[in-house]
Structure 1
Amino acid sequence: MPDRIITLCYRKVIGASSVQPWEKLVFEDTYQEFRLQAQLYNPEHRYRTFAELVQQAPGADQLPFLVSAAARGYLQQLRGLVPDVVNNLGKHFLKFSQFQFEIITSDLQDKARHQVAISFYSEPLRWHDTVGSLLLVSEAAGPAATEEVLTNMISLQPYLSIHSLHQLA
């Protein structure tokens, strides 16, 4: 089976029911930032929800970008590792090089309705094989094919998918 270079995407959804301390901090700070930034597009307090703002207030489609600033510092705490995704030994190994922040829904008067997502895009991985239900991967920039490479075995789980694929010749 020829090697392929893949990029994985993990979508982390964060809302009022999130329980991990890191998630709670992201939730609280992105909600506060949403309320603050929404004032720019809603000075007369006509709109209540994120959806209403985007549909009715010119420029409000910039809110996800503006609110993402509140999450950036927390992303640094992850030290470049995708949260929740571990190899079959239970260790975090998946490095991310890019992320995308998204406001799923929010309500200026009901914090419980605030929900965001962060999609983490992994650094390129070499996909060697599939063993049972596990992908056998290594760093794409690893040693030449004739040398020993360190590998990880990973199971595709909910919210984790292969984002891109490049077949090597």
Structure 2
Amino acid sequence: MEKALIKIAFRQVIDQSAQGSFEKDVFEDTYNEFLMQAQAYNPEGAFSTLHEMIANNPKANSLQYKVGFSIGLYVRALQNKTPGLYDSMGREITFGEYNFEMLYSDISNKSAHRISLTYTTEILTFLGNIGEYMLLANGNRLNVTSGESAETFLLKIQDGLGITYFVE
């Protein structure tokens, strides 16, 4: 693959097996917010799951957006450091934006609650592969001339990692 500008996304799935304080807090607060917000779309309690509520009332899809607000302070506290994603030197990879999604939730079964956070980097320059690692530089470094240096890092290709933007 030639040099390219890319953005990388890393997906973190959080469920009842949450370990760290960030994951536990996000799990608890999104479930509690789901219970509260779901009442507007399920006043008689006829539906148990998020998907049933959406199937019955398409406006219930706004629960994704509304529940996502409950974790804004937790994500801000990460200071743009992607949890669980490190370069080969153990440094956290920074993200520019994130996306929240409820994968499954059930008002009668907290243990079924499952969400994902997808963190997306700012522009990176892909310089090539070294085995199972990508050689990357922050920002647009495509026009670095011979003799110039660029600060680089190695990122292992792994599950949950994807390239969401690519320009050669």
Taking structure 2 as the reference length, what is the TM-score of the superposition? 0.94
Q: How many pairs align?
A: 166
- Residue 129 of structure 1 corresponds to 128
Give the counterpart letter for 2:14 in structure 1.
Answer: I
Secondary structure at the residue paired with 1:79? coil
CA contact (8 A) 1:30 1:68 kept: yes
CA contact (8 A) 1:130 1:136 kept: yes
Map residues 77-116 of structure 1 onto 2, 5 A cutoff. 77-92=77-92, 94-116=93-115
CA contact (8 A) 1:42 1:57 kept: no
String of CA shifts for 1:118-147, please: whole Å, max 9, x gaps: 111111100011111110000124595032
- Residue 41 of structure 1 corresponds to 41
CA contact (8 A) 1:41 1:58 kept: no
- Residue 18 of structure 1 corresponds to 18
Give the counterpart letter for 1:65 in structure 2.
Answer: Y
* Inter-CA distance 58–126: structure 2 relative to 1 (3 Å threshold): closer
Question: Whole-Å Cα distance in 1 between the matches of residues 129 and 108 of structure 2?
Answer: 48
- Residue 158 of structure 1 corresponds to 159
Question: Whole-Å Cα distance in 2 between the matches of residues 165 and 142 of structure 1?
Answer: 14
- Residue 71 of structure 1 corresponds to 71
**Any unmatched runs of 5+ in structure 2?**
none
1:86 CA displacement: 0.4
**Any unmatched runs of 5+ in structure 1?**
none
Taking structure 1 as the reference length, what is the TM-score of the superposition? 0.93
CA contact (8 A) 2:126 2:136 kept: yes
Question: Whole-Å Cα distance in 1 between the matches of residues 125 and 65 of structure 2?
Answer: 31
The CA RMSD measured in Å over matched residues stands at 1.4
21-30 vs 83-92, which deviates more? 83-92
1:2 CA displacement: 4.0
Question: Whole-Å Cα distance in 2 between the matches of residues 58 and 133 of structure 1?
Answer: 43
Question: Whole-Å Cα distance in 1 between the matches of residues 58 and 122 of structure 2?
Answer: 36
Give the counterpart letter for 2:70 in structure 1.
Answer: A
String of CA shifts for 1:37-71, please: whole Å, max 9, x gaps: 00111111111111101101241010000000011
120-129 vs 142-151, which deviates more? 142-151
